[in-house]
Amino acid sequence: MGVKILTIKEDILGANAENAKGNRELVDKHHILMLNVTSSPGAGKTSLIMQTIGRLKGKARMAVIEGDIASTIDADKVSKEGIPAIQINTEGACHLDANMIKKALDNLDLGQIDLIVIENVGNLICTAEFALGAHKQVMLLSVPEGDDKPLKYPLMFTQADVILINKTDVLPHFDFNMSAFSKTVSGLNPVAAIIPISAKTGEGLEPWFSWLEDALERRGTKA
């Protein structure tokens, strides 16, 4: 049975890669920067997005695509800030795929957007396997999850362009060894930026905003 699953998976991934390519072409045509944000459940993706909305207000036009198994909690939060938000409910699927993103893009006014942030389903595994067409992979790991996670979920850490270590405000209460973590990551992915942040208190967010503003600048603005 194992081999059978693998064959099916390859077909699905092949079709997904085609769709992801189409998404990339579409956002490129509109000079949009698109980010795929991944993490475990509750690591702080939405809090990071809320902080980023605050920072970019008046600087770049942002839209958010929210992926969840169920509920519209996150899209509601974003929408309250006056940001275009699309909620995708996967109804059981453990990740977003490129076809879902295509449908979301069809529902956004792409000519009026500089940055699209995709908040993927909370999961360190399946989300790493499905390309969405995003330009950059932004991964969050939160301090309470522990510094051994790169060894257990290597694909996600290998693919990340930037790794944000969130919830540094509670570092004193957990045994999280930042230098051990960095060493493990550098073995898997020597080029990813590692940025410790607290999306709750705002501490450490400057390097993240710099990274983002640099990426937006390279993309070219519409204004």
Q: Which of 38, 36, 13 is nearest to 24 (CA)?
A: 36
Task: Verify binding: residue 101, its own copies, rule CB under 8 A.
Answer: no
Task: Verify binding: residue 81, its own copies, rule CB under 8 A.
Answer: no
By CB under 8 A, the residues from 22 to 41 that bind its own copies are 40-41
Closest CB 173 distance from its own copies, rounded Å: 5
Task: Verify binding: residue 145, its own copies, rule CB under 8 A.
Answer: yes
Task: Verify binding: residue 5, its own copies, rule CB under 8 A.
Answer: yes
Task: Verify binding: residue 142, its own copies, rule CB under 8 A.
Answer: yes
Q: Which residue has the tokens 């006056």?
A: 82
CA atoms of 178 and 184, how far apart (whole Å): 10
Contact 132, 104 (CB under 8 A): no
Q: How many helices (H) and strands (E) does the chain have?
A: 8, 7
Pick the binder of its own copies from 8, 57, 203, 206 (CB under 8 A): 8
DSSP state string for 57-73: TTTS-EEEEEEESS--H
Q: Which of 25, 182, 193, 2 is nearest to 98 (CA)?
A: 25
CA atoms of 9 and 70, how far apart (whole Å): 24
Closest CB 68 distance from its own copies, rounded Å: 5
Contact 108, 7 (CB under 8 A): no
- CB closer to its own copies out of 155 and 193: 155
Task: Verify binding: residue 155, its own copies, rule CB under 8 A.
Answer: yes
Task: Verify binding: residue 180, its own copies, rule CB under 8 A.
Answer: no
Task: Verify binding: residue 3, its own copies, rule CB under 8 A.
Answer: no
Return left, alpha or beta for 216; rule: phi > 0 is left, psi -120 to 50 is alpha, else beta: alpha
Determine the interface stretch with its own copies among 4-12, 52-60, 79-87, 111-119 (rule: CB under 8 A).
Answer: 4-12
- CB closer to its own copies out of 41 and 54: 41
- CB closer to its own copies out of 12 and 193: 12
Pick the binder of its own copies from 13, 26, 110, 126 (CB under 8 A): 126
Closest CB 139 distance from its own copies, rounded Å: 12
